[in-house]
Amino acid sequence: MESRMPVVIVGILLSISLMVWCVAGAAKFACLGAALGFAMLMVEAALATNRPILKDAKGALSSDAEAPLNTARRNGRLMAMVYAWGAGALLAIYGLTELWWFHSWQYAIAMVLIAGALLGYVHLLGDKESQFRSDLSLDVSAYLAMAQAAGAAMGLGFLIGSGKFASIKTDWPANHVFIAGGLALIVISVIAAITHLRLRRAAADSNGA
């Protein structure tokens, strides 16, 4: 994950820059493409981060006794980066173009707070004395990841079903942010939960052997 962080950061900056440029030129499909490009980058990063465990959880656990903690921290960072991208995109789009949407700063602040909370959680997982490192806490975090995926899926369903995705109002770039960010969060959250489950099963099998 650490080796991919520069790529992710460049992807964030490039995606936001392209979206601002596309919004300024009213290029809606290109704007959506820039947003979805970022989502694809984050999904690829999540797959690359979790692939060793998804392939061989027992092997990953034997080579790293703290694999559940380290994996949770990596996935937490990925989720935080998605929220940070969303906040940055909203602030840049509605701050640097002629478009204005009153709720943009409200959603951006909410995303910043969630990203901060996730990074705080990642930091606590690195603290040897933190109670968040317990198996129960990691189980709860996996359930919360699934709840996040479900919430994002319902949000996307509402966005598309209500017709807001095809809106011609000034919130259309925000809808692109919500679509791409929601898709990325769904995939990352599901991968994180599956990875945690496989590590828990591998640990149980090892203890029972």
- pLDDT, tens digit, 9 for 90 and up, residues 79-138: 999 999 999 999 999 999 999 998 999 999 999 999 999 999 999 999 888 888 898 999
Q: How far apart are CA 30 and CA 23, in angstroms?
A: 9
* pLDDT single digits (tens) 6-20: 889 999 999 999 999
* pLDDT single digits (tens) 28-78: 999 999 999 999 999 999 999 999 999 988 888 888 888 899 999 999 999
* Torsion (CA) 190, 2, 112, 28 in degrees, nearest 10: -70
Q: Is the pTM of this model over 0.75?
A: yes
* pLDDT single digits (tens) 163-193: 777 777 888 999 999 999 999 999 999 999 9
Nearest in space to 175 (alpha carbons), one of 79, 13, 32, 30: 32
Q: How far apart are CA 49 and CA 51, in angstroms?
A: 6
Nearest in space to 15 (alpha carbons), one of 49, 45, 41: 41
pLDDT at position 18, please?
97
Cβ atoms < 10 Å from Cβ of 124: 16
Q: How many CA atoms lie within 13 A of 113 on its CB side?
A: 6
Q: How far apart are CA 56 and CA 66, in angstroms?
A: 15
The answer to whether 81 and 42 have CB atoms below 8 angstroms apart is yes
Which residues, including other chains, have CB under 8 Å from residue 141's CB and lie 6 or more apart? 72, 121, 196
